[in-house]
Structure 1
Amino acid sequence: MIDKRVNWPGGARIAVMLTFDFDAETLWLSRDPANARRPGTLSQGTYGAKVGVPRILETLQEANLKATFFIPGWTVENHTQRCEMIVAEGHEVAHHSYSHSWIDPDFPEQEVEEMERGLDALKRVLGVVPKGYRSPAGETSDNLIRLLNQHDFLYDSSLLDDVVPYRMAAPGGGKGPVELPWHWSTDDAPHALFSIKSPRPIFPNSHILQVFQDEFRELYRWGGLYNLVMHPQVTGRPSRIALLREMIAFIQSFPNVWFATGTEVAKAWIATHEEA
Structure 2
Amino acid sequence: MMPDLTPKPANPAPPAPDFPWPNGARCALFPGFDVDAESVWLGGDRRNAERLVTMSYGGYEARVGIPKILELLARHAVKATFFVTGWTAEAHPAACEAILKGGHEIAHHGYLHIRPEPGDLATMVEEVDRGFDALKRILGVTPVGYRAPSGENFTELLQLLRDRGIRYSSSWRDDIRPYRHALPDGAGPIEIPVNYSFDDWNFGMSHRSSPRALFGREEVLSIWRDEFDQTRDWNGVATMIMHPQVTGRPMRYRILEEFFAHVRQYDDVWWATGREIADHYEACERAALPA
Give the TM-score of the pair, scaled to structure 2: 0.91
How far is 1:42 from its partner? Answer: 0.6
* Distance (Å, rounded) in 1 between the aligned partners of 2:151 and 2:16: 27
1:62 to 43, 64, 75: 75
* Distance (Å, rounded) in 2 between the aligned partners of 1:6 and 1:206: 34
Task: State the match for 1:102 in structure 2.
Answer: 115
Task: State the match for 1:136 in structure 2.
Answer: 149
The DSSP-based 3-state class of the residue aligned with 1:230 is: coil
Per-residue deviation, residues 174-203 of structure 1 (Å, max 9, x unmatched): 211110000221100011111211211111
Aligned pair 1:24/2:30, yes or no?
no
Aligned pair 1:192/2:234, yes or no?
no
Tell me whether 92-101 or 34-43 shows the greater mean CA deviation: 34-43
1:262 to 274, 278, 282: 274
Q: Which runs of 4+ in 1 moved over 3 A?
A: 2-6
Tell me whether 202-211 or 15-24 shows the greater mean CA deviation: 202-211
RMSD, matched Cα: 1.4
Task: State the match for 2:250 in structure 1.
Answer: 238
Unaligned runs of 5+ in 1: none
What is the one-letter code of the residue matched to 2:170? S
How far is 1:266 from its partner? Answer: 1.0
Task: State the match for 2:163 in structure 1.
Answer: 150
Per-residue deviation, residues 122-144 of structure 1 (Å, max 9, x unmatched): 00110000010000121112212
Q: How many residues align?
A: 274
Per-residue deviation, residues 45-66 of structure 1 (Å, max 9, x unmatched): 0001110000000000001110
The DSSP-based 3-state class of the residue aligned with 1:94 is: strand
Task: State the match for 2:50 in structure 1.
Answer: 37
Aligned pair 1:249/2:261, yes or no?
yes
Unaligned runs of 5+ in 2: 1-14
* Distance (Å, rounded) in 1 between the aligned partners of 2:197 and 2:86: 26
CA contact (8 A) 1:8 1:269 kept: no
What is the one-letter code of the residue matched to 1:223? N
Task: State the match for 2:88 in structure 1.
Answer: 75
Query: 1:8-19 to 2 correspondence within 5 Å?
Result: 8-19=21-32
What is the one-letter code of the residue matched to 1:149? R
What is the one-letter code of the residue matched to 1:251? V
How far is 1:240 from its partner? Answer: 1.3
Identity of aligned residues (%): 45
The DSSP-based 3-state class of the residue aligned with 1:20 is: strand
Query: 1:81-230 to 2 correspondence within 5 Å?
Result: 81-172=94-185, 174-230=186-242
* Distance (Å, rounded) in 2 between the aligned partners of 1:3 and 1:179: 9
The DSSP-based 3-state class of the residue aligned with 2:30 is: strand
CA contact (8 A) 1:6 1:224 kept: no
The DSSP-based 3-state class of the residue aligned with 2:44 is: coil
Per-residue deviation, residues 201-232 of structure 1 (Å, max 9, x unmatched): 11112111111111001011000111011000
Give the TM-score of the pair, scaled to structure 1: 0.96
* Distance (Å, rounded) in 2 between the aligned partners of 1:124 and 1:77: 9
CA separation of 1:200 and 1:120: change in aligned 2, threshold 3 A: same
What is the one-letter code of the residue matched to 1:116? D
The DSSP-based 3-state class of the residue aligned with 2:230 is: helix
